[in-house]
């Protein structure tokens, strides 16, 4: 999938690599430390497997998650990658930013770019966000990127936001 990186007005978005592991663990650690009560630091081996799965999507020739650079630093990770959901191919929209970067519109800017890039890669696939029903910031980002919250269906444990094509 090309280009090698994407740019928005403020962000540089490039495919995740295993070289991002320390930054990936740092973001997850910062997020877990803000929970009440604070969560345990992420398991490095699990983090490496998760990041490797993100890298595999790119290596398989498909659009995947990005490393988000803002102001010369890694602010977090996000983007879209293929997912099978309710017997449909779709894009899973993901965003995780270190708390120090919250409130600057970075997740929304990245999400809008991801939605636009996904529309070119597979125009008919919907874009999906599944998040905790009480995760108001994640829901707001999805809505600002054009997704609409769907009514809960029986068995849903997540809030589902969808952008149909």
With tokens 């009480």, the residue in question is 134
pLDDT at res. 91: 97
1: pLDDT strictly greater than 50: no
Indicate yes or no: pTM above 0.85: yes
57-75 per-position pLDDT tens digit: 999 999 999 999 999 999 9
Phi (first) and psi of residue 8, to 5 degrees? -110, -170
SS3 154: coil
DSSP string over 15-55: E--GGGHHHHHHHHHHHHHTSSSPPPPPPHHHHHHHHHHHH
- Name the residue among 26, 138, 18 with its Cα closest to residue 73: 26
């Amino acid at each position: 999938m090309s280009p090698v990186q994407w740019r928005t007005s403020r962000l540089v978005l490039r495919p995740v690599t295993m070289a991002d592991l320390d930054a990936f663990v740092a973001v997850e650690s910062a997020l877990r430390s803000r929970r009440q009560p604070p969560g345990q630091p992420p398991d490095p081996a699990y983090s490496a497997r998760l990041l490797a799965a993100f890298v595999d999507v790119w290596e398989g020739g498909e659009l995947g998650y990005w490393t988000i650079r803002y102001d010369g630093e890694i602010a977090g990770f996000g983007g879209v990658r293929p997912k099978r959901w309710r017997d449909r191919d779709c894009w899973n929209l993901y965003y995780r930013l270190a708390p120090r970067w919250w409130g600057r519109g970075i997740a929304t800017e990245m999400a809008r770019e991801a939605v636009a890039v996904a529309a070119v890669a597979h125009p008919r696939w919907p874009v999906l966000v599944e998040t905790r029903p009480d995760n108001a910031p994640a829901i707001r980002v999805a809505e600002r990127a054009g997704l609409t919250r769907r009514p809960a269906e029986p068995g849903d444990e997540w809030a589902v936001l969808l952008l149909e094509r």
